[in-house]
Amino acid sequence: MKTRRAALILSAVSLPLIAFAAPAVHAQGIMRTPNLNVGARTPSINPTITPRINPGIAARPSVSADRVARTPPSRIGTMSSTLRVRPGAGVPSTLPHARFSPNLHPACQNAFRGPDGECFDRPVMSAGGGNGASAKKGSGGSRNNNTQAAVDLRAVRNELVAEIDGALSTAEADELARRHGLERIASQSFPLLGGTIGLFRIVDNRPVDTVRRELAADGSVRSVQLNFRHFLQDQKRAPVEGDAAQYAVAQLRLPQAHALVRGMNVTIAVIDSGVDVKHPELANSVADSFDALGSKEGPHVHGTGIAGAIVAHAKLMGSAPEARLIAIRAFGAGSKGAESTSYVILRGLDYAAEHGAQIINMSFAGPKDPLIERGIAATAARGILMVAAAGNAGAKSSPLYPAANPNVIAVSGTDAQQKLFAASNRGNHIAISAPGADIFLPAPDEKYQITSGTSFSAAYISGVAALMLERNPALKPADIRAILTKSARDLGTPGRDDQFGAGEADAFAAVIAAAAAPAVPLASGSGKPTGEKTPALDPSVDNASVSRALNDSQPSIASDKSAANAAKQPAAQ
């Protein structure tokens, strides 16, 4: 009874206090609601709680991304499938990237990327004894394997190129090879380098680095390196028949430039794949040929297209239709498309320099190659202009060579809308741009092709340089580079940029500026020359060579040849 009375008294005293405390308890319950509400664990967050989120946590978007990734398996499968078919670097998905050689991929994942940024057709870890998962763990050994595997993929397996004592006889060179467990494949004197270069193959299973160190230590050896691979920079499409409008002709203002010069008496060496010298577009244009491969392969679509971009003169029009070509076959069929090596390309460079080339077109790309770098330096020392394709590895690629060499004019690609060709490489080494997307060119067996690549951008620039040299034979390579860049049409970001360099080439403006150089500052060639007018077609001037006028029919593009040539053609025949 005493206990009951105490309880009743306590209840009576506490009742007022409970009445006043109820709102505080209810409010505290609201504050705890987010901790108890299961809905708060979903990716969507209650907006009423947003103000209470710490601003410092805002830099963690990966949290919500992780939650999205933990959706049911069916959704994950759909997501990954969509990502696999996305075209890289803006290249249309209709292009068969899987069929391109490694350096032609517009973009690739880290597992497929080599130490110099180039893309390969399989994970670089495959040759290093690892896999993608181990690569992500960040162990030093995995990174080393990754680099070595990439080197293995970009060089010919078990081959070394070495500069050896030029006094060695063939028998002594073979003995040198035997001492180091090698087979001498070839060796020759290279006047361009002033030395003898040998190509050797490892005949056992010793690591390449071990053999390279041992060979380099021999007193008869000056230097040793891998025999690197280089790839042509085109994106293949099936050859087509018929004629087509060449947007590049108008875009480069070639008709206006050809009213003044057409590249006559200028020699351009094309280090490429085989050229179909019998194609009507190339008739009487190939003055010399050299097969650095020593192969029996026939004409190739890439080499024929490059030659056409420079000297085509029948249905189509090249940038320098009266130039002389030295067709050097240095690229042959390989597992990933037409490819070449350090030793073979050096043979091509040496031949071009020794046989009067004034311009050398190099529409290929690869890693930085010490032997080719030496050849380029020696070529530049002789006053020969070199032009190279920037490459088709896309925005994520590091600079490719030889375009990235400072002695070479690096050319990126544009399309018909004067936008950057999607697969074109970028970088501060890009000097200038030229059309490279959907270019209409000759193909072997009197056929034609529509193709893309910075290869053809470089070829157009080589032809424009030939026009400038005909206009002013005293021009040096530095003069030509300066005039080309100062007379270019600015594209993209105002001023020089990493996509277009100085802009897209303007053949007519460059030819006009070349006539005044170097008597006046090169700045006079900047932009459109003051008072520039398209020259009238002078009936007394014949820009066609004698052999062309006697043997060839009139080009179908009438505006690309003077009225005088059209009038004289029937009489000459």
Evaluate whether 445 touches 276 at the Cβ level (below 8 Å).
yes
Q: Which of 455, 457, 462, 545 is catalytic?
A: 455
302 noted as active-site residue: yes
Q: Which two tokens stand for residue 9?
A: 């008294």
Residue 215's contacts (CB-CB under 8 Å, 6 or more residues apart) are 160, 162, 180, 182, 200, 221, 224
How far is the C-alpha of 112 from the C-alpha of 89, rounded, in Å? 15
Q: Which of 97, 302, 313, 429 is catalytic?
A: 302
CA nearest 147: which of 232, 220, 209?
209
How far is the C-alpha of 197 from the C-alpha of 341, rounded, in Å? 13
How far is the C-alpha of 471 from the C-alpha of 101, rounded, in Å? 39
**Helix, strand or coil, per DSSP, at residue 121:** coil
Q: Which of 116, 152, 234, 272 is catalytic?
A: 272
How far is the C-alpha of 350 from the C-alpha of 369, rounded, in Å? 16
How far is the C-alpha of 163 from the C-alpha of 222, rounded, in Å? 5
How far is the C-alpha of 103 from the C-alpha of 120, rounded, in Å? 7
How far is the C-alpha of 251 from the C-alpha of 503, rounded, in Å? 12
User: What's the distance, CA 418 to chain centroid?
Assistant: 18
How far is the C-alpha of 375 from the C-alpha of 15, rounded, in Å? 101
How far is the C-alpha of 434 from the C-alpha of 524, rounded, in Å? 22
Main-chain dihedrals φ then ψ at residue 189, nearest 5 degrees: -85, 135
**Helix, strand or coil, per DSSP, at residue 364:** strand
Q: Which two tokens stand for residue 213?
A: 């160190």
* Cβ-based neighbour number of residue 334 at 10 Å: 14
How far is the C-alpha of 286 from the C-alpha of 52, rounded, in Å? 77
User: What are the catalytic residues?
Assistant: 272, 302, 455
